[in-house]
Amino acid sequence: MADASDVAELRERIERALPGTLVPTPSRANTQAVPVKKGEQVAPNFLATDDPVITADQLPNVAGYLRDTLGYELLTNITATDYLADGIIEMVYHFVRLNGGAPIAIKVRTSREQPEVPSLTAEWPGADFQEREAFDLFGVVFRGHANLRRIYMWDEFEGFPMRKDFPKQGDKYFEDTEE
Amino acid sequence: MPTSQELQINIGPQHPSTHGVFRMTVTVDGETVVRLDPVFGYLHRNHEQLAEVSTYIQSMPYTDRLDYFNSMASNYGLALAVEKLAEIEVPQRANYIRALMNELTRILNHATAIGFLLNDMGAWQTALAFSMREREKILDLFEMASGARMMCNYFRFGGIWRDLPPEFVPQLKQLMVGLPSFFDEFDKLLRENEILRARSINIGILPKELAAAYSVTGPVLRASGIAYDIRKAEPYGIYGELDFDVPIGSVGDVYDRYLVRIEEMRQSYRMIQQIIERLPDTIGGHINPKMADIGKQKTLRPPVGDVYARIESPKGELGFYLVSDGSERPYRYKVRAPSFLNLTPLGDMCRGHRIADVVVILGSIDIVMGEVDR
């Protein structure tokens, strides 16, 4: 991960080039991490982050800006995280420069009930499989993806296995055959 | 006037040339591929969720099963990510041994990848026998150090499981004496081989302009002419101190991928030479003393936050994205698997080629299904 000053500069540049795309978020530094003691439940503030969080609609623009102006050509990692308590699914995109340096992360937040973000496959064909993976396991719908099908689970499968409220015990596909 | 008709055929999931349970639906016009769709999931066991209900160290042996050819590299990826998240320092000696294991694994991976590629071309078992011979010697070293040939489970957060046994370095030196002649012999047999050239030159071209857009990494990206190697781009461990070159291809065809892998083996050899030279002078033990107790490993609670760490695995960029909620188990655990993403351009690379070239192009990408399907 790029260090803190780089991330702050990145936020600034995005804000200057594309005003209104950044979503204000509490900084990680202000929410001091409290080590959890045994048996003690402290809900961590997942929404505090230093990485730029952008509005879903602006994602292709910001990604294009990163590639064309800042030189982050390679979209390497795409992932979703389900923050059940906050009702949010967060998409994280990691970009790197081909001439070296640490990757940068940009994040997009969408609701758990209707998770929908624009697809990057038009400009980054490499996003294809990882977007399908996020759709398959988290149920995130990628607007504009030409082939948004399940990738690991079979097509008839119901539910999204990586969501935090997906039951971890029992399997409805085996219920009938159990002796 | 006879008319041609498109035909859809199925390659895999049970097929000797798909490197595991990989399936492709191929539409052909005569013998020419019109369209190719990879179908995944036959080896899917949701590694990510299993990791989310396990402690951090419990996932370590499971990473061996991701890319089961290169368990040392998969171990390294997870260890690096957790160390970044929990801010654990790694002693110099441990870093040297880690790099040594990773370069050995790169040699064995590339040697067998080329062996299997020749298998796919019809040189059944001949080239593979040569690479398997060298691979066994390296696996013997892994067994000596970790206790297991393939499922090494050797890395710990803050270092490695234990230091090298005394007989390790002499045997490694013995291996190093033989390796250059293996590279030369292997290369001499193959580089000018008429069949290899006929089957690989201008086959499965991935142009430079497209390679980055397709998010491919590792030897496939470098064969397309982009000198991107994480060991240089964002050095981790001791790679910043080692002297090595990043070989690149010019066209981006199957032959270039072969050449890049051969050259990378030689570069790994150079790195191991430097490591052997410096290993006796390294300081620090094999593990950070704060993490030496296995109880510390088991109860590791990284602070709240997220991290993305990556290494140059033999197949490409292996990344781990972790989110910690401050407990013993990761809240989110994601593997960015190089073989999975390197498959993205497969359909485009195969279009217009003969159906017999499909397995060759697939072989040149070098995939392991344990990692693709996770």
Please tell me whether the overall predicted TM-score, pTM, comes out greater than 0.90 for this model.
no
Q: What pLDDT does A42 receive?
A: 61
3-state secondary structure (DSSP) of residue B230 = helix
Lowest mean pLDDT: which of B109-113, B223-227, B285-289?
A: B285-289
A100 contacts on B by Cβ (under 8 Å): 232-234
CB contact under 8 A, B334 and A77: yes
Residue-wise pLDDT for A137-170, tens only, equals: 998 999 888 888 888 988 888 888 888 888 777 6
Place of tokens 């609701």: A111
Which residues in chain A have their CB less than 8 angstroms from residue B345's CB? Answer: 125
Complex ipTM tops 0.90: no
Q: How high is the pLDDT of residue B294? A: 82
The answer to whether the CB atoms of B212 and A74 lie below 8 A apart is yes
- In this complex, do B332 and A79 lie within 8 Å of one another by their Cβ atoms? yes
Place of tokens 């540049």: A13
List of residues 6+ apart from B267 with CB closer than 8 A: B244, B245, B246, B247
Residue from A6, A7, A145, A152 to probe the interface with B (highest B Cβ count within 10 Å): A152
Q: What span, in angstroms and rounded, lies between the C-alpha atoms of B54 and B328?
A: 8
Contact criterion met (CB < 8 Å) for A77 and B321: yes
Q: Which residue has the tokens 């000797």?
A: B16
Q: Which of B304, B315, B318 to substitute to test the interface with A, most A CBs within 10 Å?
A: B304
Q: Give, as one character, the DSSP assignment of residue A175.
A: T
Contacts of A31 in chain B (CB under 8 A): 304
Mean pLDDT value across chain B: 89
Place B313 in a pLDDT band, splitting at 50, 70 and 90: very high
Q: Do A42 and B326 touch (CB under 8 A)?
A: yes
Judge contact between B343 and B367, C-beta under 8 A: yes
Q: Which amino acid is at B151?
A: M
What is the identity of the amino acid at B22?
Answer: F
Count of beta carbons in the 10 Å neighbourhood of residue B313: 28
Q: What is the pLDDT of residue B76?
A: 92
Put simply, the answer to whether B216 touches A126 (Cβ < 8 Å) is yes
